[in-house]
Structure 1
Amino acid sequence: MSTTDHNLAAKGRARIDWIRSRMPLLAQAREQFAVSRPFAGHRIGMSLHLEPKTAVLLETLAAGGAEIIATGNFGSTQDDTVAALREAGMTVFGTRADTLEQHGANVAAVLDSAPRILLDNGADLAAGIVERGAQASIIGGTEETTSGADRLRGELAGAVPFPVVVINDSRLKAIGENRHAVGQSIVESFMRITNLMVPGRHVVVVGYGWCGRGIAQYFRSLGAQVGVVERDVMKAFEAALDGFRVGSLAELAGWADVLITATGREGVVGSETFDLLRDDAVLGNSGHFPWEIDVAALRAGAVSIDQVDDGIERIHRANGRRVVLLAGGRMFNLAGREPKGNSLESMDLGFLLQALSLERVATDAARLVPGAQPVPDDIERLIAARFLEALGASR
């Protein structure tokens, strides 16, 4: 390892050490796994955001006997974390600068290692397994996101013959991580990346699922005026009674100073919306895939583009207005400048859901049904009790 790589690894270790010290739920699981060794003899193939909190999850799985073959997600890999994991002996592919093509090659490299269990984010690994027709060695896995669950229940429906526990189906995760942690981290990242004021600003959140609820709530708590775009009538009803301005994208786009997507769906914000935006409106995406905003169309319609830094593009349009794009349309709380992502406590909760769900797959896959399915109820209740205990709360 070169001096540069060693220094990068040292930086990564320092960050991982701090974060590990703030994740007591995973610490408890790590101690238990070191005794029970549920993953002994299993290779876990992972495609998930590679940052220090993820490293603590991987350490926990390795303590249980797992061999880890991992890559990150497109645009969110943190190179110091990768260096630290490699120095610790794990096989990790990817860098922050990878192109989408290279990311695809990284996913393929994980699958080439013939994993027995998948730890997936966005269903990239599951889709690759189905495409290859090489499913015999896989006993099951987990899927982190709603975007991945939509793929499993949509384009991949009936094609995945092994069980996949969808972590984002968990109400525990929906409340603790998606609503409160994503809400907090998106607002914090917006302020850090743009250095703009929140109070009084018009913010439109597209999508009122759990993440959208949190984003809307946390922007309003800091003084923003918040509008919500939601197609589902029941969610729109909820948003209205929660006190948000509710309307169509066509109605609210021209009102927005900031517009943030939180749907998991492709092409939600396109050319017809760009034409409605006021001058210097800020566009950002909080969804897993960088496809909710039609970035290609936005750039294609540009007269010129100012690359302010790696987190901000200012796109000059033919109508004389400018659009500010955050993190190239990627998930800007993880792909933007100085990414921090969700809070440590929320990821301790979410990653314990991952760890115990993977343990269930490793030890009892035969009793799980093929395809996408929620986290088993007994796991959710156990983790809820542990989290309350860690908070010092009683019930």
Structure 2
Amino acid sequence: MSPVSHDADDPLAWAREYTPILRSYQEEYGETKPLSGYTVAFASHLETKSGVAIETLREAGAEVLFAPSEPQSTHGDVVDALDAREGITAFAWEGMTDDEFDAAQHELLEEEPDFILDDGCELIAKVHAEHPDVAAQVIGGGEQTTAGITRLEAMEEEGILQFPVYGVNDTPMKHFFDNVHGTGESSLTNIAITTNSIVSGKDVVVCGYGYCGRGIARKARGMGGQTIVTEVDPRKALQAHMDGHRVMDMAEASEVGDLFISATGNREVMREEHFEKMQDGAILANSGHFDVEIDLEALEAAAESTSTPKEGVTQYHMPDGRRLNLLAEGRLVNLTGPFSQGHPAEVMDTTFAMMFVAAYDMLVDGPDLEPGLYNIPDRLDRAVAERKLETLGVSIDDMTESQQAYTEEWEHPDSSF
């Protein structure tokens, strides 16, 4: 692989060093341009790693239109650098309001993209709801988040999806690494940096024990936190229990927690009856896609006043003298805080590689798929894993002929059973 550019004025230079899979696609497809003739819409948190993903699509020949999936996580230097390139168009800028964010996404969709790579089902939901003529012409899409998959499942259930979508979030090369390690490490890192407080010794309440919650809880315990998990699914609650975490309902956990981190993908996980029980100085953070997991209206209504004791921290002063500290205004703590940089580049390399192969498979290989939500073919997931191991210099075994035959036979004549 060719060396990485170290242009001091290039905001993507450092991220490229830690995204070798994406760089390998740039080198492999930079001359043949297999995505030429297609326009790909890309929505995500617009920072350095997503910038490398966007330039990878362009290197492969696509015209790329990009917009944010969250208005407060946009890095202006990344947007400007990408927008200056031929064949890449930005529908974003740093400091967008919620209304500007919404309008920019609609403006992008009016350009009639052929393919949509999405985060939170932002573009896919909007194109169906308000641009049905455009949706009817879209070839396919890919979705990288749990929240987005939930929305797509609801759309499929209602029978309104107009094109096939690969559920990138649910493929092993995404949720085993991005959700567990990316969300886990980046959430806790940004909480620690924003608050300048220690995790060790704190009662850390993790709301939700999906892949993201699992990663947060595991890493919080590794940092010395006394972990508590809340859940609505009895099986996930049992899994958390067997993994060594205390399991409580939110009513009980709200009385003992020092640090609360929500990662459920649902709304109002922390609400009025919980705020009433929380201890003085409790820290509240959200790691879910949308800013709905903490009931902000109820928190504001319960407080007598607010202050900003530290950048990125809003302190709610309750009538009884307690102070509750909300991070990043209840938005994604690992992406929208004052010092947030999102997931580590190494783990986003695998996620964005899966997004790239989702587009490549539908646009170039052209599987005959009806509209609906699909798992990414295992062959694609496995190929990205092999490429990742190659970039790490890690080797694995191949099965022998007899081992392969053993896996394919339902009768084992040499067995003693």
What TM-score results when the alignment is normalised by the length of structure 1?
Answer: 0.94
Cα shift readout 1:15-51 (whole Å, capped 9, x = no counterpart): 3011112211111111122233221111111221100
Secondary structure in 2 matching 1:277: coil
Is 1:133 matched up with 2:132? Answer: yes
Partner of 1:7: none
* Offset at residue 366 of structure 1 (A): 4.6
Q: State how far apart, in whole Å, the 1-side matches of 2:370 and 2:172 are.
A: 20
Cα shift readout 1:155-181 (whole Å, capped 9, x = no counterpart): 563211211111111122111111012
- Aligned pair partner of 2:30 in 24, 34, 40: 34
* Offset at residue 269 of structure 1 (A): 1.4
Equivalences for 1:1-395 in 2 at 5 Å?
A: 13-74=9-70, 75-89=72-86, 90-131=88-129, 132-134=131-133, 135-155=135-155, 157=157, 158-395=159-396
Q: Is contact 1:163-1:365 (8 Å) kept?
A: no
Q: State how far apart, in whole Å, the 1-side matches of 2:362 and 2:281 are.
A: 48
How many residues align structurally? 385
* Offset at residue 117 of structure 1 (A): 0.6
Q: State how far apart, in whole Å, the 2-side matches of 1:17 and 1:28 are.
A: 15
Cα shift readout 1:244-265 (whole Å, capped 9, x = no counterpart): 0111001111111000000111
Matching residue's letter, 1:83: D
Q: State how far apart, in whole Å, the 1-side matches of 2:32 and 2:277 are.
A: 58
Q: Which runs of 4+ in 1 moved over 6 A?
A: none
- Equivalent pairs: percent with the same residue? 37
Matching residue's letter, 2:47: E
Query: Based on CA coordinates, which of the two structures has the bigger radius of gyration?
Result: 2
* Offset at residue 310 of structure 1 (A): 4.5
Cα RMSD between the aligned structures? 1.5
Q: Is contact 2:144-2:351 (8 Å) kept?
A: no
Q: Is contact 2:194-2:311 (8 Å) kept?
A: no
Matching residue's letter, 2:324: V
* Offset at residue 307 of structure 1 (A): 2.3
Secondary structure in 2 matching 1:240: helix
Q: State how far apart, in whole Å, the 2-side matches of 1:120 and 1:319 are.
A: 44
Q: State how far apart, in whole Å, the 2-side matches of 1:296 and 1:97 are.
A: 22
Structure 1 segments unaligned to the other structure (5+ residues): 1-9
Q: Is contact 2:203-2:258 (8 Å) kept?
A: yes
Distance change in 2, residues 1:365/1:311 (3 Å): farther
Q: Is contact 1:46-1:110 (8 Å) kept?
A: no
Matching residue's letter, 1:303: E
Distance change in 2, residues 1:154/1:319 (3 Å): farther
What TM-score results when the alignment is normalised by the length of structure 2?
Answer: 0.89
Q: Is contact 2:361-2:367 (8 Å) kept?
A: no
Q: State how far apart, in whole Å, the 1-side matches of 2:84 and 2:319 are.
A: 50
Cα shift readout 1:151-205 (whole Å, capped 9, x = no counterpart): 1111563211211111111122111111012111111111111000111011000
Q: Is contact 2:155-2:161 (8 Å) kept?
A: no
Q: State how far apart, in whole Å, the 2-side matches of 1:364 and 1:141 are.
A: 14
Secondary structure in 2 matching 1:367: coil
